[in-house]
Structure 1
Amino acid sequence: METFEAQTIDEAIAAASAAFKADRDQLDIQVLEQPRHGFLGFGRRNAKIQAELKRPVQPQKPIEKKPAAKSQPAKKTVVVKTAKPTDKKQNVKPAANDSNEPDALEMERRHQANVQKMNQAAQALCGYLKDVLAALGVMAKPKIVKLRTHELVVDLQADNSGRVIGFHGRRINALEQLGTAFLSYHGVDDPGLILDTSNYRQKRQQSLEKLAARCVTEVIATGQAVFLDPMPARERKYLHHVLEDNPRVKTYSHGRDPYRSVVVAPKN
Protein backbone atom coordinates (compact mmCIF):
# COMPACT_ATOMS: atom_id res chain seq x y z
CA MET A 1 0.00 0.00 0.00
CA GLU A 2 1.20 3.51 -0.84
CA THR A 3 1.13 6.37 1.66
CA PHE A 4 -0.52 9.73 0.90
CA GLU A 5 -0.45 12.87 3.03
CA ALA A 6 -2.55 16.06 2.85
CA GLN A 7 -4.20 18.66 5.08
CA THR A 8 -7.45 16.68 5.25
CA ILE A 9 -8.53 13.07 4.84
CA ASP A 10 -10.58 13.91 1.73
CA GLU A 11 -7.62 15.63 0.09
CA ALA A 12 -5.39 12.64 0.81
CA ILE A 13 -7.99 10.28 -0.70
CA ALA A 14 -8.27 12.53 -3.75
CA ALA A 15 -4.51 12.35 -4.18
CA ALA A 16 -4.66 8.56 -3.98
CA SER A 17 -7.46 8.42 -6.57
CA ALA A 18 -5.42 10.58 -8.92
CA ALA A 19 -2.32 8.46 -8.43
CA PHE A 20 -4.11 5.18 -9.12
CA LYS A 21 -6.44 6.74 -11.75
CA ALA A 22 -9.38 5.11 -10.02
CA ASP A 23 -12.53 6.13 -8.19
CA ARG A 24 -12.73 6.15 -4.41
CA ASP A 25 -14.90 3.01 -4.38
CA GLN A 26 -12.14 1.13 -6.22
CA LEU A 27 -9.59 1.74 -3.45
CA ASP A 28 -8.85 0.05 -0.13
CA ILE A 29 -8.09 2.94 2.24
CA GLN A 30 -6.59 2.84 5.73
CA VAL A 31 -6.33 6.04 7.82
CA LEU A 32 -2.98 6.24 9.60
CA GLU A 33 -3.21 9.70 11.22
CA GLN A 34 -6.03 12.19 11.67
CA PRO A 35 -5.22 15.83 10.86
CA ARG A 36 -4.53 18.22 13.72
CA HIS A 37 -4.81 21.99 13.39
CA GLY A 38 -2.63 22.81 16.37
CA PHE A 39 -2.70 26.05 18.35
CA LEU A 40 -1.33 29.28 16.88
CA GLY A 41 0.42 27.24 14.23
CA PHE A 42 2.16 24.92 16.69
CA GLY A 43 1.55 21.19 16.70
CA ARG A 44 -0.10 21.12 13.30
CA ARG A 45 -0.24 17.72 11.59
CA ASN A 46 -1.43 16.57 8.17
CA ALA A 47 -3.71 13.64 7.50
CA LYS A 48 -1.96 10.45 6.44
CA ILE A 49 -3.51 7.43 4.72
CA GLN A 50 -2.48 4.26 2.95
CA ALA A 51 -4.28 3.15 -0.21
CA GLU A 52 -4.20 0.45 -2.86
CA LEU A 53 -6.46 -0.84 -5.61
CA LYS A 54 -9.08 -3.35 -4.55
CA ARG A 55 -8.41 -6.85 -5.76
CA PRO A 56 -10.91 -8.13 -8.35
CA VAL A 57 -13.35 -10.68 -7.00
CA GLN A 58 -12.83 -14.10 -8.57
CA PRO A 59 -16.10 -15.63 -9.78
CA GLN A 60 -17.02 -18.79 -7.97
CA LYS A 61 -17.02 -22.01 -9.91
CA PRO A 62 -20.45 -23.58 -10.29
CA ILE A 63 -20.98 -26.52 -8.01
CA GLU A 64 -21.44 -29.73 -9.94
CA LYS A 65 -24.40 -31.72 -8.80
CA LYS A 66 -23.73 -35.40 -8.38
CA PRO A 67 -26.35 -37.76 -9.73
CA ALA A 68 -28.64 -39.12 -7.12
CA ALA A 69 -27.78 -42.57 -5.89
CA LYS A 70 -30.01 -45.36 -6.98
CA SER A 71 -32.60 -46.24 -4.44
CA GLN A 72 -32.00 -49.51 -2.69
CA PRO A 73 -34.89 -51.84 -2.13
CA ALA A 74 -36.31 -51.58 1.35
CA LYS A 75 -35.22 -54.27 3.72
CA LYS A 76 -37.83 -56.34 5.42
CA THR A 77 -38.23 -55.66 9.09
CA VAL A 78 -38.31 -58.71 11.30
CA VAL A 79 -40.55 -58.29 14.34
CA VAL A 80 -39.30 -60.12 17.39
CA LYS A 81 -41.91 -60.86 20.01
CA THR A 82 -40.85 -60.17 23.57
CA ALA A 83 -42.25 -61.68 26.68
CA LYS A 84 -44.93 -59.65 28.45
CA PRO A 85 -43.80 -58.10 31.70
CA THR A 86 -45.18 -59.70 34.80
CA ASP A 87 -47.34 -57.75 37.22
CA LYS A 88 -45.23 -58.75 40.17
CA LYS A 89 -43.33 -55.83 41.65
CA GLN A 90 -39.68 -56.41 42.09
CA ASN A 91 -38.22 -55.28 45.38
CA VAL A 92 -35.33 -53.20 44.13
CA LYS A 93 -33.80 -50.97 46.77
CA PRO A 94 -32.38 -47.69 45.48
CA ALA A 95 -28.69 -47.22 45.97
CA ALA A 96 -27.79 -45.04 48.88
CA ASN A 97 -27.10 -41.47 47.85
CA ASP A 98 -23.96 -40.31 49.53
CA SER A 99 -23.67 -37.16 47.43
CA ASN A 100 -24.84 -34.98 50.32
CA GLU A 101 -22.14 -36.11 52.71
CA PRO A 102 -19.19 -34.44 50.92
CA ASP A 103 -21.20 -31.20 50.61
CA ALA A 104 -22.01 -31.16 54.31
CA LEU A 105 -18.44 -31.96 55.23
CA GLU A 106 -17.14 -29.27 52.90
CA MET A 107 -19.56 -26.69 54.33
CA GLU A 108 -18.50 -27.58 57.86
CA ARG A 109 -14.84 -27.31 56.89
CA ARG A 110 -15.40 -23.87 55.36
CA HIS A 111 -17.37 -22.74 58.40
CA GLN A 112 -14.59 -23.78 60.75
CA ALA A 113 -12.03 -22.05 58.52
CA ASN A 114 -14.06 -18.82 58.59
CA VAL A 115 -14.43 -19.00 62.37
CA GLN A 116 -10.69 -19.56 62.71
CA LYS A 117 -10.03 -16.59 60.42
CA MET A 118 -12.35 -14.39 62.50
CA ASN A 119 -10.70 -15.59 65.72
CA GLN A 120 -7.22 -14.70 64.48
CA ALA A 121 -8.39 -11.31 63.22
CA ALA A 122 -10.23 -10.65 66.51
CA GLN A 123 -7.13 -11.36 68.58
CA ALA A 124 -5.12 -9.00 66.40
CA LEU A 125 -7.88 -6.38 66.67
CA CYS A 126 -7.82 -6.47 70.47
CA GLY A 127 -4.11 -5.69 70.47
CA TYR A 128 -4.64 -2.95 67.91
CA LEU A 129 -7.44 -1.28 69.90
CA LYS A 130 -5.37 -1.45 73.07
CA ASP A 131 -2.51 0.37 71.35
CA VAL A 132 -4.83 3.01 69.85
CA LEU A 133 -6.47 3.76 73.19
CA ALA A 134 -3.08 3.86 74.91
CA ALA A 135 -1.97 6.46 72.37
CA LEU A 136 -5.04 8.49 73.39
CA GLY A 137 -4.07 8.20 77.04
CA VAL A 138 -6.74 5.61 77.90
CA MET A 139 -5.72 2.34 79.52
CA ALA A 140 -8.22 -0.32 78.41
CA LYS A 141 -8.34 -4.09 78.15
CA PRO A 142 -10.36 -5.37 75.15
CA LYS A 143 -12.25 -8.60 75.84
CA ILE A 144 -14.02 -10.73 73.24
CA VAL A 145 -17.62 -11.28 74.37
CA LYS A 146 -19.13 -12.91 71.26
CA LEU A 147 -17.48 -14.39 68.17
CA ARG A 148 -19.23 -15.79 65.11
CA THR A 149 -18.26 -16.20 61.46
CA HIS A 150 -19.20 -12.62 60.55
CA GLU A 151 -20.05 -11.18 63.98
CA LEU A 152 -17.81 -9.93 66.77
CA VAL A 153 -18.59 -8.16 70.05
CA VAL A 154 -15.69 -6.68 72.03
CA ASP A 155 -16.01 -5.10 75.47
CA LEU A 156 -13.47 -2.36 76.16
CA GLN A 157 -12.88 -2.64 79.90
CA ALA A 158 -11.47 0.60 81.31
CA ASP A 159 -11.47 2.52 84.58
CA ASN A 160 -12.80 5.64 82.83
CA SER A 161 -15.37 4.42 80.31
CA GLY A 162 -16.38 8.00 79.51
CA ARG A 163 -13.06 8.58 77.77
CA VAL A 164 -13.64 5.44 75.73
CA ILE A 165 -17.15 6.55 74.73
CA GLY A 166 -16.32 10.16 73.96
CA PHE A 167 -18.73 13.05 73.36
CA HIS A 168 -22.11 11.61 72.26
CA GLY A 169 -20.38 8.28 71.58
CA ARG A 170 -18.21 9.70 68.81
CA ARG A 171 -14.99 8.06 69.99
CA ILE A 172 -16.33 4.55 70.44
CA ASN A 173 -18.23 4.80 67.14
CA ALA A 174 -15.07 5.94 65.37
CA LEU A 175 -13.14 3.06 66.93
CA GLU A 176 -15.88 0.71 65.75
CA GLN A 177 -15.55 1.92 62.15
CA LEU A 178 -11.78 1.61 62.40
CA GLY A 179 -12.11 -1.91 63.79
CA THR A 180 -14.48 -2.96 60.99
CA ALA A 181 -11.95 -1.81 58.41
CA PHE A 182 -9.24 -3.70 60.34
CA LEU A 183 -11.23 -6.96 60.16
CA SER A 184 -11.88 -6.53 56.44
CA TYR A 185 -8.18 -5.91 55.87
CA HIS A 186 -7.41 -9.18 57.64
CA GLY A 187 -9.68 -11.20 55.32
CA VAL A 188 -13.01 -11.28 57.18
CA ASP A 189 -15.87 -10.94 54.70
CA ASP A 190 -18.66 -8.51 55.64
CA PRO A 191 -17.69 -8.20 59.33
CA GLY A 192 -20.23 -6.99 61.87
CA LEU A 193 -18.37 -5.43 64.80
CA ILE A 194 -19.84 -4.03 68.01
CA LEU A 195 -17.64 -2.25 70.54
CA ASP A 196 -19.07 -1.77 74.01
CA THR A 197 -17.95 -0.49 77.39
CA SER A 198 -19.80 -0.37 80.71
CA ASN A 199 -23.01 -1.56 78.96
CA TYR A 200 -23.06 1.62 76.87
CA ARG A 201 -24.88 0.09 73.89
CA GLN A 202 -27.90 -1.03 75.96
CA LYS A 203 -28.07 2.35 77.69
CA ARG A 204 -27.88 4.04 74.30
CA GLN A 205 -30.83 1.99 73.02
CA GLN A 206 -32.88 3.10 76.02
CA SER A 207 -31.94 6.71 75.29
CA LEU A 208 -32.99 6.28 71.65
CA GLU A 209 -36.36 4.90 72.72
CA LYS A 210 -36.95 7.95 74.94
CA LEU A 211 -35.81 10.22 72.11
CA ALA A 212 -38.27 8.55 69.73
CA ALA A 213 -41.13 9.07 72.20
CA ARG A 214 -40.29 12.78 72.56
CA CYS A 215 -40.14 13.18 68.78
CA VAL A 216 -43.57 11.59 68.35
CA THR A 217 -45.03 13.97 70.93
CA GLU A 218 -43.49 16.99 69.22
CA VAL A 219 -44.58 15.94 65.73
CA ILE A 220 -48.18 15.37 66.85
CA ALA A 221 -48.28 18.66 68.77
CA THR A 222 -46.76 20.86 66.04
CA GLY A 223 -47.54 18.97 62.86
CA GLN A 224 -43.94 19.62 61.80
CA ALA A 225 -41.14 17.17 61.03
CA VAL A 226 -38.31 16.76 63.53
CA PHE A 227 -34.74 16.52 62.22
CA LEU A 228 -32.43 14.64 64.58
CA ASP A 229 -28.66 14.98 64.88
CA PRO A 230 -26.44 12.76 62.72
CA MET A 231 -25.94 9.28 64.12
CA PRO A 232 -24.39 5.95 63.08
CA ALA A 233 -26.24 3.60 60.75
CA ARG A 234 -27.02 1.09 63.50
CA GLU A 235 -28.71 3.75 65.66
CA ARG A 236 -30.68 5.09 62.67
CA LYS A 237 -31.84 1.57 61.92
CA TYR A 238 -32.92 1.09 65.53
CA LEU A 239 -34.97 4.32 65.49
CA HIS A 240 -36.70 3.23 62.27
CA HIS A 241 -37.50 -0.09 63.96
CA VAL A 242 -38.89 1.58 67.10
CA LEU A 243 -41.26 3.86 65.16
CA GLU A 244 -42.16 1.64 62.19
CA ASP A 245 -45.52 0.57 63.70
CA ASN A 246 -46.54 4.03 64.96
CA PRO A 247 -49.76 5.08 63.15
CA ARG A 248 -49.13 8.82 63.56
CA VAL A 249 -45.57 9.31 62.29
CA LYS A 250 -43.15 8.04 59.66
CA THR A 251 -39.35 8.07 59.60
CA TYR A 252 -36.75 8.36 56.87
CA SER A 253 -33.05 9.09 56.64
CA HIS A 254 -31.69 12.36 55.33
CA GLY A 255 -28.23 13.44 54.13
CA ARG A 256 -25.03 11.54 53.56
CA ASP A 257 -22.64 9.80 55.93
CA PRO A 258 -21.13 10.79 58.29
CA TYR A 259 -23.84 13.48 58.58
CA ARG A 260 -26.82 11.25 57.75
CA SER A 261 -29.67 11.66 60.23
CA VAL A 262 -33.22 10.49 60.93
CA VAL A 263 -36.29 12.60 60.23
CA VAL A 264 -39.55 11.97 62.11
CA ALA A 265 -42.50 13.41 60.18
CA PRO A 266 -46.32 13.27 60.27
CA LYS A 267 -47.66 10.25 58.44
CA ASN A 268 -50.61 12.07 56.83
Structure 2
Amino acid sequence: MKKIVVTGKTIEDAVKAGLHQWEVSEDRVKIKVLEQPSKGFLGLFGIKEAKVELEWIPDALEEAVHFLQDIFKTMNLTITTDLQKDKEGAILNMTGPELGILIGKRGQTLDALQYLVNIVANRFSSSHLRIILDAENFRERRKNTLEELASRLASRVIKTKKEVILEPMNALERKIIHTELQDHPVVKTYSKGEEPNRRVVIALK
Protein backbone atom coordinates (compact mmCIF):
# COMPACT_ATOMS: atom_id res chain seq x y z
CA MET A 1 0.00 0.00 0.00
CA LYS A 2 1.16 3.53 -0.78
CA LYS A 3 1.81 5.51 2.42
CA ILE A 4 3.44 8.78 3.43
CA VAL A 5 4.18 10.41 6.79
CA VAL A 6 3.73 14.20 6.97
CA THR A 7 3.99 16.81 9.70
CA GLY A 8 2.36 20.16 10.42
CA LYS A 9 1.62 22.62 13.20
CA THR A 10 -1.78 20.94 13.59
CA ILE A 11 -3.20 17.61 12.50
CA GLU A 12 -5.29 19.46 9.91
CA ASP A 13 -2.18 21.18 8.51
CA ALA A 14 -0.34 17.87 8.29
CA VAL A 15 -3.24 16.22 6.45
CA LYS A 16 -3.50 19.16 4.03
CA ALA A 17 0.21 18.90 3.30
CA GLY A 18 -0.13 15.22 2.48
CA LEU A 19 -3.18 15.74 0.27
CA HIS A 20 -1.37 18.54 -1.57
CA GLN A 21 1.64 16.30 -2.11
CA TRP A 22 -0.51 13.57 -3.68
CA GLU A 23 -2.97 16.02 -5.27
CA VAL A 24 -5.99 14.06 -4.04
CA SER A 25 -9.09 14.77 -1.96
CA GLU A 26 -9.46 13.58 1.64
CA ASP A 27 -11.87 10.80 0.70
CA ARG A 28 -9.04 9.05 -1.17
CA VAL A 29 -6.89 8.47 1.93
CA LYS A 30 -6.97 6.80 5.32
CA ILE A 31 -5.59 9.02 8.08
CA LYS A 32 -3.67 7.74 11.09
CA VAL A 33 -2.46 10.20 13.75
CA LEU A 34 1.05 9.24 14.84
CA GLU A 35 1.84 12.19 17.12
CA GLN A 36 -0.28 14.99 18.55
CA PRO A 37 1.22 18.51 18.42
CA SER A 38 2.52 19.98 21.69
CA LYS A 39 3.80 23.41 22.65
CA GLY A 40 6.65 22.23 24.83
CA PHE A 41 8.07 23.83 28.01
CA LEU A 42 6.30 27.08 28.90
CA GLY A 43 4.80 27.07 25.46
CA LEU A 44 8.10 28.17 23.95
CA PHE A 45 10.71 25.42 23.91
CA GLY A 46 10.62 21.98 22.32
CA ILE A 47 7.59 22.61 20.14
CA LYS A 48 6.53 19.33 18.55
CA GLU A 49 4.54 19.23 15.33
CA ALA A 50 1.70 16.89 14.57
CA LYS A 51 2.64 13.79 12.60
CA VAL A 52 0.14 11.80 10.54
CA GLU A 53 0.32 8.83 8.21
CA LEU A 54 -1.75 8.91 5.04
CA GLU A 55 -2.56 5.68 3.25
CA TRP A 56 -3.70 5.85 -0.36
CA ILE A 57 -7.12 4.31 -1.07
CA PRO A 58 -6.90 2.97 -4.64
CA ASP A 59 -9.73 3.77 -7.06
CA ALA A 60 -10.80 0.59 -8.86
CA LEU A 61 -11.39 2.25 -12.23
CA GLU A 62 -8.13 4.19 -12.09
CA GLU A 63 -6.24 0.99 -11.31
CA ALA A 64 -7.88 -0.71 -14.31
CA VAL A 65 -6.80 2.14 -16.59
CA HIS A 66 -3.25 2.05 -15.20
CA PHE A 67 -3.14 -1.70 -15.82
CA LEU A 68 -4.07 -1.17 -19.47
CA GLN A 69 -1.56 1.65 -19.87
CA ASP A 70 1.19 -0.61 -18.57
CA ILE A 71 0.22 -3.20 -21.20
CA PHE A 72 0.27 -0.55 -23.96
CA LYS A 73 3.68 0.64 -22.80
CA THR A 74 5.08 -2.91 -22.73
CA MET A 75 3.75 -3.55 -26.25
CA ASN A 76 4.97 -0.14 -27.45
CA LEU A 77 1.46 0.85 -28.57
CA THR A 78 0.04 4.36 -28.79
CA ILE A 79 -3.45 3.92 -27.38
CA THR A 80 -5.69 6.38 -25.55
CA THR A 81 -8.58 5.40 -23.29
CA ASP A 82 -11.91 7.07 -22.59
CA LEU A 83 -13.73 6.04 -19.42
CA GLN A 84 -17.50 6.43 -19.11
CA LYS A 85 -19.24 5.32 -15.92
CA ASP A 86 -22.65 3.66 -15.97
CA LYS A 87 -24.99 2.08 -13.40
CA GLU A 88 -23.21 -1.28 -13.36
CA GLY A 89 -19.63 -0.07 -13.67
CA ALA A 90 -17.98 1.53 -16.65
CA ILE A 91 -17.29 1.36 -20.38
CA LEU A 92 -13.64 1.76 -21.27
CA ASN A 93 -13.18 2.61 -24.94
CA MET A 94 -9.74 2.45 -26.56
CA THR A 95 -8.69 4.47 -29.60
CA GLY A 96 -5.51 4.42 -31.63
CA PRO A 97 -3.89 3.33 -34.90
CA GLU A 98 -2.93 -0.15 -33.72
CA LEU A 99 -6.15 -1.54 -32.28
CA GLY A 100 -6.21 -4.65 -34.45
CA ILE A 101 -3.66 -6.42 -32.27
CA LEU A 102 -5.76 -5.65 -29.17
CA ILE A 103 -9.03 -6.80 -30.75
CA GLY A 104 -7.77 -10.08 -32.20
CA LYS A 105 -9.77 -12.61 -34.20
CA ARG A 106 -13.51 -11.99 -33.64
CA GLY A 107 -12.61 -9.92 -30.57
CA GLN A 108 -10.98 -12.79 -28.66
CA THR A 109 -7.98 -10.72 -27.52
CA LEU A 110 -10.32 -7.89 -26.52
CA ASP A 111 -12.38 -10.35 -24.45
CA ALA A 112 -9.24 -11.66 -22.73
CA LEU A 113 -8.12 -8.11 -21.91
CA GLN A 114 -11.59 -7.30 -20.59
CA TYR A 115 -11.44 -10.34 -18.32
CA LEU A 116 -8.08 -9.23 -16.89
CA VAL A 117 -9.20 -5.61 -16.49
CA ASN A 118 -12.21 -6.74 -14.46
CA ILE A 119 -10.02 -8.90 -12.21
CA VAL A 120 -7.71 -5.94 -11.54
CA ALA A 121 -10.57 -3.50 -10.88
CA ASN A 122 -12.43 -5.82 -8.51
CA ARG A 123 -9.31 -6.30 -6.40
CA PHE A 124 -9.77 -2.66 -5.36
CA SER A 125 -13.57 -2.47 -5.23
CA SER A 126 -15.73 -3.18 -2.18
CA SER A 127 -18.62 -4.29 -4.42
CA HIS A 128 -18.69 -6.11 -7.75
CA LEU A 129 -17.70 -3.83 -10.60
CA ARG A 130 -18.32 -4.59 -14.27
CA ILE A 131 -16.11 -3.01 -16.93
CA ILE A 132 -16.83 -3.38 -20.63
CA LEU A 133 -13.67 -2.94 -22.67
CA ASP A 134 -14.25 -1.66 -26.18
CA ALA A 135 -12.11 -0.55 -29.12
CA GLU A 136 -13.56 2.24 -31.27
CA ASN A 137 -17.05 0.75 -30.81
CA PHE A 138 -16.03 -2.73 -31.97
CA ARG A 139 -18.63 -4.23 -29.61
CA GLU A 140 -21.51 -2.43 -31.35
CA ARG A 141 -20.20 -3.29 -34.82
CA ARG A 142 -19.79 -6.94 -33.80
CA LYS A 143 -23.33 -6.95 -32.35
CA ASN A 144 -24.75 -5.64 -35.63
CA THR A 145 -22.77 -8.26 -37.58
CA LEU A 146 -24.10 -11.08 -35.39
CA GLU A 147 -27.69 -9.86 -35.63
CA GLU A 148 -27.44 -9.77 -39.42
CA LEU A 149 -25.85 -13.23 -39.38
CA ALA A 150 -28.67 -14.59 -37.21
CA SER A 151 -31.35 -13.29 -39.58
CA ARG A 152 -29.54 -14.59 -42.64
CA LEU A 153 -29.02 -18.05 -41.16
CA ALA A 154 -32.62 -18.20 -39.98
CA SER A 155 -33.71 -17.68 -43.57
CA ARG A 156 -31.37 -20.48 -44.67
CA VAL A 157 -32.85 -22.86 -42.08
CA ILE A 158 -36.37 -22.08 -43.30
CA LYS A 159 -35.36 -22.58 -46.94
CA THR A 160 -33.36 -25.80 -46.49
CA LYS A 161 -35.30 -27.15 -43.49
CA LYS A 162 -31.92 -28.11 -41.98
CA GLU A 163 -30.51 -26.79 -38.71
CA VAL A 164 -27.39 -24.61 -38.74
CA ILE A 165 -24.62 -24.87 -36.17
CA LEU A 166 -22.63 -21.66 -35.70
CA GLU A 167 -18.95 -21.34 -34.85
CA PRO A 168 -17.99 -21.36 -31.15
CA MET A 169 -18.86 -18.09 -29.41
CA ASN A 170 -18.56 -16.66 -25.93
CA ALA A 171 -21.64 -16.27 -23.75
CA LEU A 172 -22.21 -12.62 -24.67
CA GLU A 173 -22.18 -13.30 -28.41
CA ARG A 174 -24.42 -16.35 -28.04
CA LYS A 175 -26.88 -14.17 -26.16
CA ILE A 176 -26.98 -11.71 -29.07
CA ILE A 177 -27.98 -14.53 -31.45
CA HIS A 178 -30.58 -15.91 -29.02
CA THR A 179 -32.07 -12.45 -28.42
CA GLU A 180 -32.26 -11.62 -32.12
CA LEU A 181 -34.27 -14.78 -32.88
CA GLN A 182 -36.19 -15.30 -29.64
CA ASP A 183 -39.46 -14.04 -31.12
CA HIS A 184 -39.00 -15.57 -34.55
CA PRO A 185 -42.21 -17.35 -35.64
CA VAL A 186 -40.49 -20.26 -37.43
CA VAL A 187 -37.05 -20.96 -35.96
CA LYS A 188 -35.67 -21.50 -32.47
CA THR A 189 -32.16 -21.37 -31.00
CA TYR A 190 -30.32 -23.32 -28.35
CA SER A 191 -26.71 -23.82 -27.30
CA LYS A 192 -24.74 -27.05 -27.16
CA GLY A 193 -21.21 -28.11 -26.28
CA GLU A 194 -18.83 -27.12 -23.53
CA GLU A 195 -16.87 -23.91 -23.10
CA PRO A 196 -14.85 -22.64 -24.90
CA ASN A 197 -16.41 -24.57 -27.81
CA ARG A 198 -20.06 -23.93 -26.98
CA ARG A 199 -22.10 -23.15 -30.10
CA VAL A 200 -25.51 -21.78 -31.02
CA VAL A 201 -27.82 -23.99 -33.06
CA ILE A 202 -30.59 -22.51 -35.20
CA ALA A 203 -33.35 -24.99 -36.04
CA LEU A 204 -36.99 -25.14 -37.07
CA LYS A 205 -39.52 -25.00 -34.23
Which TM bucket (shorter chain)?
Answer: 0.5 to 0.7
In terms of fraction of residues, the more strand-rich structure is 2
Aligned ranges 1:185-204 → 2 under 5 Å? 185-204=123-142
Residue of structure 2 equivalent to 1:238: 176
* Deviation for aligned residue 1:258: 2.2
Q: Contact 2:178/2:189 (CA < 8 Å) preserved in 1?
A: yes
Q: Contact 1:254/1:262 (CA < 8 Å) preserved in 2?
A: yes
What is the TM-score with the length of structure 2 in the denominator?
0.66
In the alignment, which of 145, 150, 156 is matched to residue 84 of structure 2?
Answer: 145
What is the TM-score with the length of structure 1 in the denominator?
0.51
Per-residue CA distance 1:164-197 (angstroms, 9 max, x = gap): 2112111111111111222222235333221111
SS at match of 1:174: helix
- Opposite residue 202 of structure 2, the aligned amino acid is V
Residue of structure 2 equivalent to 1:157: 95
1:166 & 1:238 partners in 2: Cα distance?
20
Give unpaired runs (5+ residues) of structure 1.
1-112, 114-118
Aligned ranges 1:1-268 → 2 under 5 Å? 120-148=59-87, 150-267=88-205
- Opposite residue 194 of structure 1, the aligned amino acid is I
Q: Contact 2:60/2:123 (CA < 8 Å) preserved in 1?
A: no
Q: Relative to structure 1, is the Cα distance of residues 134 and 266 closer, same or farther in structure 2, using a 3 angstrom cutoff? A: farther
1:214 & 1:251 partners in 2: Cα distance?
14
Give unpaired runs (5+ residues) of structure 2.
1-27, 29-57
Q: Contact 1:138/1:163 (CA < 8 Å) preserved in 2?
A: no
Q: Contact 1:232/1:258 (CA < 8 Å) preserved in 2?
A: yes
SS at match of 2:93: strand
Aligned residues: 150
Per-residue CA distance 1:137-189 (angstroms, 9 max, x = gap): 432122202244x3210011222222221121111111111112222222353
Q: Relative to structure 1, is the Cα distance of residues 132 and 214 closer, same or farther in structure 2, using a 3 angstrom cutoff? A: same
Percentage of identical aligned residues: 33
RCO comparison, higher one (Cα < 8 Å, 6+): 2
Q: Over aligned residue pairs, what C-alpha RMSD do you find?
A: 2.2
SS at match of 1:229: coil
SS at match of 1:175: helix
Q: Which moved more, 1:214-223 or 1:179-188?
A: 179-188
1:256 & 1:178 partners in 2: Cα distance?
22
Q: Contact 2:64/2:118 (CA < 8 Å) preserved in 1?
A: no
Q: Contact 1:126/1:143 (CA < 8 Å) preserved in 2?
A: no
2:181 & 2:86 partners in 1: Cα distance?
30
